Amino acid sequence: MNFRQPRFRNGLLLGAAFLAGVAIGPTASVLGRAVAQDHSRAEASQFLKVFGDVFERVRAEFVDPVSDKEVLENAINGMLTGLDPHSSYMNAKAFKDMQVQTKGEFGGLGLEVTEEKGLIKVVSPIDDTPAYRAGIKSGDIITALDGKTVLGLSLNEAVDRMRGIPNSRIVLTIKREGADKPLEIAVIREIIKIRVVKSRMEADNIGYVRLSQFTEKADAGLRAAVKALRAQAGGNLRGMILDLRNDPGGLLDQAIAVSSAFVEQGEIVSTRARHTEDSQRWDARGSDIINGIPLVVLINGGSASASEIVAGALQDHRRAVLIGTKSFGKGSVQTVIPLPGGGAMRLTTARYYTPSGRSIQATGIIPDVLVKDSREGPASFGLERESDYNRVLSNSGGTPAQILPPRTDLPPIAKQIPDKPPEGFPKFDPLKPGETDFQLQQAVVLAQAMIRQRSAAR
């Protein structure tokens, strides 16, 4: 690994000059920094001694024998999880599991989860997995596994317990908004083969593409789906809907590639790290694979990270109209750093910014057309957005979202689209999306209006 060397050299030399009576004026501030560094090092040395004392006391007096490895792994994980919600330690097994998951195939239930206040929160169920078919929803709080509380478990430990032998059964105890009592949902484990892209044709030759996760297969799957839709439409694909709802994100390079599939030139995303030389910018690297036809993007509170990069880029470039509800608001970058022994640490190393300079950290992407999926009010408990976490990373360094100029390219019907379903609208059924998915219905209406507007402008 290429660790940055401590930057003490200039400070010590200038400090020595000051003590010799050579330097005056501004150099005093350098001496102040050197003194502060010395104090910091002394304080660190003191706490390392405390750590050693605690370690020895645990080894000698904890009620049950405990291995040194277990104690030290817990200490490392505590160091990282105490920084922000997304930094963590992965032992060798957890690191291997993560590598398998990014390739799009792994064993388990098919849930994207996170941890808050000792409980496990569902970010989103993955399409066509046991968890999805069992009816587990984004926002559900998992309080117990097979009747045993998850309190006291790390996120990795909870995930490990949810994984298991294919065809084995596990019961999840769920706390859900609107439910009077905890729900017990039995799920049968499977080998999870993530189908990251699904597509079909909607009315008026409007292609629909659902992207459920940004694995290594996302960009290739998207391009294959568009090619198939164009063939199905006889070369007359008139519009497209990209569904990023409940897409928890994934690989940064795939977010850039997917954005580049619709944006021909210009910035896609930039990252700003602690040190200026580590900041980066990525530009579009392709051509618009749908040749400028109207594009509508669906987002909601489960759209996070890579999904928000894509949504933000398409919104800033005015390449798409966003419809749905505000996204999750995860605007930070995690670097996975392999460690000796086969493990790794996931460390938050930067914030990312949309092409207009917005940081969406803890704020999210606000859709151009607000449409809720149900008439229910906001949840009254649990995590809903990044901003609900403890130790959340601050939103800083970007341009305020409100300085963006208002959109003037929306069809007039955008103002008439209702922001929630009418009374008596049927409950969502994944097997009947055309009849029960209100947000998708409004996305089709919007796409049809954009097609008419484009035709009239020719």
> Among residues 219, 303, 330, 359, which one is catalytic?
330
Q: How far apart are CA 57 and CA 251, in angstroms?
A: 42
Active site residue 168: no
Longest Cα separation, the chain: 84
Catalytic residue among 199, 260, 303, 305: 305
Q: How far apart are CA 125 and CA 196, in angstroms?
A: 12
Active-site option among 84, 247, 316, 373: 316
Can you point out the beta strands (E) in 118-237?
Answer: 119-125, 141-145, 148-149, 169-175, 183-188, 190-193, 197-202, 206-211
Answer yes or no: 432 catalytic. Answer: no
Residues 6 or more apart whose CB falls under 8 angstroms from that of 440 comprise 208, 241, 243, 298, 433, 434
Structure tokens at 261: 């599939």
| Cβ atoms of 287 and 264 closer than 8 Å | yes
Let me know if 68 is a catalytic residue.
Answer: no
Secondary structure of 403-440 as H, E, C letters: HCCCCCCCCHHHHCCCCCCCCCCCCCCCCCHHHHCHHH
Structure-token match 């079909």, residue found: 200
Question: 3-class secondary structure for 286-320?
Answer: CCCCCCCCCEEEEECCCCCCHHHHHHHHHHHCCCC
Helix (H/G/I), strand (E/B), else coil: 167: coil
- Which residues are known catalytic residues? 305, 316, 330
